[in-house]
Amino acid sequence: MKIAVAGKGGVGKTLVAGTLARFLGKEGIQVLAVDADPNPTLASALGVSPDVAEQIIPLTENDELVEERTGMDRKTYGGMFKLNPHVSDLAEKFGVPAPDNVTLLVAGTVTIGGAGCMCPAGALLKALIRHLIVGSDEAFVMDLEAGIENLGRGTSRGMDALITVVEPGQTSISTVARIKKLAQDISVDTVFGVANKVMDEMDEKAIRSTLDELQIPLLTVIPFDKAIRLANLKGKAPIDFAHDSPAIRAIRALIPELRARLNNADP
């Protein structure tokens, strides 16, 4: 299963991506969890210890690596650098073990002014994502920032689904419309929605009607859940801290729903 999770900042992408990765891993599947958020926090949602997480350098910020693989300094614009750097060993070399068969790879990001940048670090990131989507058999879950530009046309076709997380409120909802449009632009046609931080029926109705309008199927409704905030405050992975809480159960329920819909979509 190759899944990307997107949405406005703060909606719960990391909660969903991290918890989903752990549940898939619990099935015995080797899962690669890729953090492509400029503010990477997937480690904590996965249950990687803070001491280990602190030491991780995002690949796009690893100057030595970027230079070694592309032939040019990370910050260079223009000039000649390799557009197709060697990346197939990166997950193995830089991946950090997390519980339940999950490996965390902090990829970093290079989005500048809304478009993936044509710079050495951008070339490395694009090549890595392309490799993971097209060239690897491993299941992966990617935690993306709101922009999905780094996915790029063509490579995205190999992805099974883009999950957009949406919380009650107009800004989150308009972000979903933008993500849907971007997904179409890069030929990702399997877009699903997940409602998060839902307090009451009114919240749920508002999100349902927006997703209906955009023709985005809703996979699950995650309630607002104090246990998630508490896990965060304690620096624990929500799935470990509150494994039987309503929010975590709602994320678990997403998996069979996702599988059923993906199987139906297959000819």
What whole-number distance in Å separates Cα of residue 217 and Cα of residue 152? 23
Question: How far is the C-alpha of 245 from the C-alpha of 263, rounded, in Å?
Answer: 28
As a whole number of angstroms, the distance between CA 174 and CA 200 comes to 20
For the chain, strand residue ranges (E) read 2-6, 31-36, 96-98, 102-106, 111-112, 115-116, 139-144, 161-166, 191-198, 218-223
Q: How many residues bind ligand ADP (CB under 6 A)?
A: 18
DSSP string, 217-230: -EEEEEEP-HHHHH
Does residue 44 interact with Mg ion by CB under 5 A?
Answer: no
Instruction: Work out whether 36 is an interface residue with ligand ADP (CB under 6 A).
Output: no
Question: Any contact of residue 101 with ligand ADP (CB under 6 A)?
Answer: no
In the complex, the smallest distance separating the C-beta of residue 83 from Mg ion, rounded to whole angstroms, is: 29
Question: What distance in Å separates the CA atoms of residue 191 and residue 180, rounded to the nearest whole number?
Answer: 7
DSSP state at residue 151: G
Among 2, 3, 4, 7, binds ligand ADP (CB under 6 A): 7
Residue 225 interacts with ligand ADP (CB under 6 A): yes or no: yes
Residue 6 sits in the site that holds ligand ADP (CB under 6 A): no
Candidates 2, 4, 14, 119: give the one binding ligand ADP (CB under 6 A): 14
Q: Is position 56 an interface residue for ligand ADP (rule: CB under 6 A)?
A: no
Q: List the one residue from 5, 14, 91, 125 that touches Mg ion (CB under 5 A).
A: 14
- Residues 175-214 touching ligand ADP, rule: CB under 6 A, are 196-197
Least Cα distance to 103 among 2, 32, 23 occurs for 32
Q: Is residue 232 involved in binding ligand ADP (CB under 6 A)?
A: yes
CA distance 47 to 23: 12
Out of 86, 153, 205, 229, the only residue in the binding site for ligand ADP (CB under 6 A) is 229
Report the residue number, 69 or 197, with the smaller CB distance to ligand ADP.
197
DSSP for 21-81 reads: HHHHHHTT--EEEEEE-SS--HHHHHT--HHHHHHPPPGGG-HHHHHHHHSS-TT--SS--
Nearer to ligand ADP, 58 or 85 (CB): 58
Residue 222's binding partner out of Mg ion, ligand ADP, none, with CB under 5 to 8 Å set by partner kind? ligand ADP
Cα separation, 153 vs 235, whole angstroms:
37
Q: Which does 3 bind (CB under 5 to 8 A by kind): ligand ADP, Mg ion, none?
A: none
- Quote helix, strand, coil % in the chain, to nearest 5: 45, 20, 35
Residue 36 or 182 with smaller CB distance to Mg ion: 36
Q: Does 111 bind ligand ADP (CB under 6 A)?
A: no
Question: By the criterion CB under 5 A, which residues form the site for Mg ion?
Answer: 13-14, 37
Question: By the criterion CB under 6 A, which residues form the site for ligand ADP?
Answer: 7, 9-15, 41, 196-197, 222, 224-225, 228-229, 232, 247
